[in-house]
Structure 1
Amino acid sequence: MTTFTAWKFDSPDGARRAETALKEAAKDGLVTIVDHALVEWPADAARPDVHHSNDDKKRGAGWGAFWGLLFGGIFFVPLLGAAAGAAIGSISKAVAAVGIDEAQLQTIREQVTPGTSLLCAVTTDGDLDRLGERFHGLHSTLVATNLTEGERSTLLETFG
């Protein structure tokens, strides 16, 4: 099963620390990373910095386009009033194949602010119990996932 998760951190470098833990877990066979991206937003910056990993060399351009659409629409398109809703609606149609809905896009947009960071990961074959041990103490908040409610509850319980 392919899983999309977006984790928010209350510091600009939290996602970078989680990325290291995720890569170590992948090396140890606890998860397969299809692709991932980071959003780091220093407290004094007007806009966040986005870093795409290009984990899947064969489909790197496709994932780059996906992350560009997702983050560009959320963070870089000047959105005001009703235009914000329309833009989020358009993006949600484009990323629906990954299982991200409009409410999750809006949550990401509202949660990721100056002084925070975000790690988005598309993964398969995750051992949630053992993976949760790696993420313990990183102080993250799950803001979006394509998991069912039952799977989401297990994930939140495992990751604390």
Structure 2
Amino acid sequence: MSNLVAVAFPDRATAEEVMATLGRLQTEHAIELEDAVIVTRDDKGKVKLHQSNKLAAGGALGGALWGGLIGLIFFVPLFGMAIGAATGAATGALTDVGVDDNFMKDLGAKLQPGGAAVIVLIHKSTPDKVLPEIAGFGGEVIQTSLDDDAEQRLRHVLETRSATAV
């Protein structure tokens, strides 16, 4: 089962740093994300979603693999890989999986003007590796589907950082 976590930050730059850290942690297999989005609210109140491109790479890679295998059958593996990669990337771009966009926009409307939030759908993680990495950014938990103990642990880690930054 996947868990939704949404954390608000005072600005987009901090949210982007958190997203980069999560991307590195995913590369290190400390966390496995199904969806990752930065939501921003500008000074006029307009909410914008910034989808993570790092997760979409799997569509092109999977398409290239299948295209290459099919190409081998017909003795044109490079052509098959190219077609498969293009098809996989296009399918990944058109398929909206993960957290509902309207839900994210509703959360974004609650942000302070100029604020941002990172919303992730976590397939699995190793909290002992992930929490120390994100603790340095502070932030405020605005929504989760975590169990009470895990949510309290996340809030404590983020609040400890926020309290020391003031």
Counterpart of 1:134?
Answer: 133
Tell me which amino acid in the other structure corresponds to 2:15: A
Counterpart of 1:68?
Answer: 101
Alignment pair present for 1:120 and 2:119: yes
Shift of 1:147: 1.1
8 Å CA contact retained: 1:37, 1:67: no
Point out where structure 1 has 5 or more consecutive residues left out of the alignment.
75-104
RMSD: 2.4
Tell me which amino acid in the other structure corresponds to 1:68: D
Q: Which has the larger radius of gyration?
A: 2
Counterpart of 1:49?
Answer: 48
Tell me which amino acid in the other structure corresponds to 2:5: T
Aligned length: 124
Alignment pair present for 1:32 and 2:66: no
* Alpha-carbon distance between aligned partners in 2 of 1:6 and 1:46, rounded to the nearest angstrom: 19
* Alpha-carbon distance between aligned partners in 2 of 1:127 and 1:158, rounded to the nearest angstrom: 15
Point out where structure 2 has 5 or more consecutive residues left out of the alignment.
60-90, 161-166
- Length-normalised TM-score, structure 1: 0.66
Counterpart of 1:23?
Answer: 23
8 Å CA contact retained: 2:7, 2:142: yes
Alignment pair present for 1:12 and 2:20: no
Structure with greater helix share of residues: 2
Shift of 1:143: 0.7
8 Å CA contact retained: 1:12, 1:41: no
Tell me which amino acid in the other structure corresponds to 2:39: V
Runs (4+) of structure 1 exceeding 4 A deviation are none
The alignment partner of 2:153 has SS state of helix
- Length-normalised TM-score, structure 2: 0.64
Distance change in 2, residues 1:144/1:46 (3 Å) = closer
The structure whose RCO (Cα within 8 Å, separation 6+) is larger is 1
Shift of 1:119: 0.5
* Alpha-carbon distance between aligned partners in 2 of 1:40 and 1:10, rounded to the nearest angstrom: 10
The alignment partner of 2:137 has SS state of coil
* Alpha-carbon distance between aligned partners in 1 of 2:152 and 2:92, rounded to the nearest angstrom: 31
